[in-house]
Structure 1
Amino acid sequence: MLKDVVALVTGASRGVGRGIALELGNAGATVYMTGRTVEEGRSTARLPGTVSRTAEDVTRLGGQGIALRCDHTDDGQVQAVFDRIRQDQGRLDILVNNVWGGYEHFSDGTEFWNEKGFWSMPLARWDKMFHAGVRAHFVASALAAPMMIDRKSGLIVNISSFGAQRNDRGVAYGVAKAADDRLTGTMAYELQEFNVAAISLYPGLVRTESVTNAAEYFDLSNSESPQFLGRAVAALAADPNIMTKSGQVLVAASLALEYGFTDIDGTQPRPLTVDEA
């Protein structure tokens, strides 16, 4: 379905990024992917998975996986990623901005669960959400856009969250995700004349490594695999009328009903509303 398509997925060592890379590979794409973890056991989040293993699995599924070590808070490293893609391929068809910072409190020993409000949050968390989140998405998009504009074709997907529309997800996270949605809308406006689409994509509850490790605290009855998000991205990329969706906030489970795909286990996750998320 996506043979001869070149994609970049940021933050693909594990979780949603890994799932998206796998499904793009399963659809036949050449998938570049970034991550900081290249050796098992070296994850700062203390979770399994490496960007190298994701690339190997993409290739095993029928695509071509290329792993690139990259810290998206370092503009020089990010520039090198895009230079490599331009040198190798001369094009980029899909950019998935998945990388996101600010989650360090789940593994760095800080007393996250004792926080009672934004006034008790470490101030550095705000900076990480924006620098390694919103700004990382902006920088990658700014570097991808010229390659897409040259071909008058392309798709940028920003992985966002219902947290952008709720008041109970923490100030830093909620504001950062809302900014990501506005980033999508304003990029879509400026890219429209070049036939390049920009979309915000919301998952439901995703069975990432972190979630499955804490499964006793979650109701997983309507959850999604990381690959489910990948199937949504692949379906969007294959849609000849994708420009009609540009600038929108879309929910992966709603796209599954529209495009007719299921999760990898054959289930059909129910689309959540903002109140349910």
Structure 2
Amino acid sequence: MESTSVSAQPLVGKVALVAGATRGAGRAMAVELGRAGATVYATGRTTRKHTSEVGRDTETIEETAELTTAAGREAGGAGAGIAVPTDHLVPGQVEALVERIDREQGRLDILVNDIWGGDLHVEWDKKMWEHDLDKGLRLMRLGIETHIVTSRYALPLLVRNPGGLVVEVTDGTEEYNGSNYRKPFYYDLAKSTPLRMAWGLAREVEEYGCTALCLSPGWLRSESMLDTAFGVTEENWRDGCEQNPHFAISETPAFVGRALVALASDPEVARWNGRSLSSGGLAKEYGFTDVDGSAPDAWRYITEVDQESKTADVTGYR
């Protein structure tokens, strides 16, 4: 991967927890933080010995940690990944995780709440009263309760030092989710709630000199999006545009990882306190690009271009 446009390893000495770092955006954020020099604790439920309910054993937190360490070494020597198997619905496991970070590092500078894993429970075309209740409540727990539990135990360590950054990760900006129904009902709640969480946590941590915000990738070319949804690889991802032409606006997970590094490296990051941000929007602010040198602004595209159209023109959007 290309390096970001920020100075080499600006996060040396910083400690991060990326909760939900097994794959997708979480993995990329962990790797890019490591590339920038941070020590990164990567958590998740899928390990080389255990596969979570998501059912993908091809990505593990051990691999995420190894990729994070390798990125740090390639970029300048600092940066490391540490894999800690954690079910963020089990308070005792999260408490033990934070105690370990405190014991080993004595600080926490960046908390990323990226836990999800609820897609398999979503019944996309069903009304609220038709949707299986157990599945609906399960994805609410995975997408909301996990974030609450993690913040409950991690924030006391983070607010010890000014400059801490809390990042709630979701799907969709406040502008988009606030005016569009992200059906079905349970998915809409799960992806809208982190926006409000970030707004509330911003008020909680501000007096300690810390910042909380919400960050959304655009149309993410995650591992499952590529191989399950479109049957392509990163190398031939454009073939997916034959199935949906608007896939042309999609982005690699590294793009949101670079957005996170830009935020964590910004000495004036407090200006974003409580805000809803996107990878595409931040690329304009900080000047980073995706791995191919483009800067896809997916949420602006999705808002302004008719998604029902059979043609797509990403000119001016990436």
- Give the structure-2-normalised TM-score: 0.80
Q: Secondary structure at 1:167's aligned position in 2?
A: coil
Separation in 2, partners of 1:234, 1:248: 17
Q: How far is 1:170 from its partner?
A: 1.4
Pairing 1:29-40 to 2, within 5 Å after superposition? 29-39=38-48
* Conservation of the 8 A alpha-carbon contact between 1:102 and 1:126: no
1:79 maps to 2:89: no
Q: Could you tell me which of 264, 276, 279 is aligned with 1:249?
A: 276
1:65 maps to 2:81: yes
Identify unmatched segments of 5+ residues in structure 1.
107-111
Deviations 1:74-129 (A, max 9, x none): 111111110110010010000000011422237xxxxx36x432222111233223
Q: Secondary structure at 1:158's aligned position in 2?
A: strand
Q: How far is 1:41 from its partner?
A: 8.1
Change in 2 beyond 3 A, CA 1:124/1:102? farther
Max Rg structure: 2
Q: Could you tell me which of 42, 60, 63 is aligned with 1:50?
A: 60
Separation in 1, partners of 2:297, 2:248: 10
Match of 1:23 in 2: 32
Separation in 1, partners of 2:145, 2:106: 25
Separation in 2, partners of 1:188, 1:207: 29
The one-letter code sitting in structure 1 at the alignment partner of 2:98 is F
Separation in 1, partners of 2:50, 2:166: 31
Separation in 2, partners of 1:78, 1:3: 25
Q: Secondary structure at 2:16's aligned position in 1?
A: strand
Match of 1:130 in 2: 140
Q: Could you tell me which of 224, 241, 244 is aligned with 1:210?
A: 224
Please, which moves more after superposition, 228-237 or 133-142? 133-142
Separation in 2, partners of 1:210, 1:139: 26
- Give the structure-1-normalised TM-score: 0.92
1:164 maps to 2:177: yes
Q: How far is 1:148 from its partner?
A: 2.2
Identify unmatched segments of 5+ residues in structure 2.
1-9, 73-78, 231-239, 308-318
Q: How far is 1:161 from its partner?
A: 1.9
* Conservation of the 8 A alpha-carbon contact between 1:164 and 1:175: no
Pairing 1:233-248 to 2, within 5 Å after superposition? 233-248=260-275
Separation in 1, partners of 2:156, 2:121: 36
Deviations 1:157-198 (A, max 9, x none): 000122733214311111222221111101101211111100
Separation in 2, partners of 1:228, 1:53: 19
Match of 2:316 in 1: none
Separation in 2, partners of 1:133, 1:142: 15
Q: How large is the Cα RMSD of the aligned pairs?
A: 1.9
* Conservation of the 8 A alpha-carbon contact between 1:22 and 1:61: yes
The one-letter code sitting in structure 1 at the alignment partner of 2:32 is E
Aligned residue pairs total 271
List structure 1 segments (4+ residues) > 6 angstroms apart after TM superposition. none
Match of 1:226 in 2: 253
